[in-house]
């Protein structure tokens, strides 16, 4: 199982099987899950809390920290998948639709290398 051959549905199922086996869907309502995503996102941020922008990629060379970061990323993804299941959201569709909007909002010629549009 890895990103090249794993579909989103396979990841959703992995997560939902875990939740259903424990009868935890009762806790996994969208209010709690949105808070859970935010909580795990904050734990991920903690790894960069005091790191200067220039030093931020050096974190990749720290194997112990990368192991923790990988877990935080997995936690965010787990709750995001669970949220999508609870709310019946197709993630691939949602991302594609949003990126089309972003393409229109940020045309390459005006936003190349900048967030502030060229005139």
CA contacts within 13 A on the Cβ side of 35:
5
Quote the DSSP letter at residue 1. Answer: -
105 lies in the binding site for a second copy (CB under 8 A): no
88 lies in the binding site for a second copy (CB under 8 A): yes
Q: How far is the CB of 116 from a second copy (least distance, A)?
A: 10
Which residues lie below 8 Å from residue 4, measured CB to CB, with a gap of 6+? Answer: none
Q: How far is the CB of 64 from a second copy (least distance, A)?
A: 14
46 lies in the binding site for a second copy (CB under 8 A): yes
80 lies in the binding site for a second copy (CB under 8 A): yes
Binding-site size, a second copy (CB under 8 A): 84
Which residues lie below 8 Å from residue 81, measured CB to CB, with a gap of 6+? Answer: 8, 11, 12, 15, 16, 91
Of 25-44, binders to a second copy (CB under 8 A) are: 26-27, 29-32, 34-39, 41-44
15 lies in the binding site for a second copy (CB under 8 A): yes
Out of 16, 61, 90, 104, the residue judged to bind a second copy by CB under 8 A:
90
CA contacts within 13 A on the Cβ side of 55:
7
Angle at 38 between CA 97 and CA 90, to 5 degrees: 30
16 lies in the binding site for a second copy (CB under 8 A): no
């Amino acid at each position: 199982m890895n990103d090249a051959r794993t579909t989103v549905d396979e990841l959703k199922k992995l997560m939902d099987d875990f939740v259903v086996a424990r009868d935890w869907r009762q806790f996994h309502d969208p209010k709690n899950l949105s808070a859970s995503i935010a909580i795990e996102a904050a734990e991920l941020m903690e790894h960069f809390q005091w790191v200067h922008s220039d030093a931020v990629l050096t974190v990749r060379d720290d194997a112990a920290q990368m192991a923790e970061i990988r877990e935080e990323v997995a936690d965010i993804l787990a709750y995001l998948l669970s949220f999508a299941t609870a709310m019946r959201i197709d993630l691939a569709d949602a991302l594609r639709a949003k990126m089309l909007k972003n393409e229109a909002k940020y045309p390459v010629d005006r936003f190349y290398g900048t967030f502030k549009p060229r005139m």
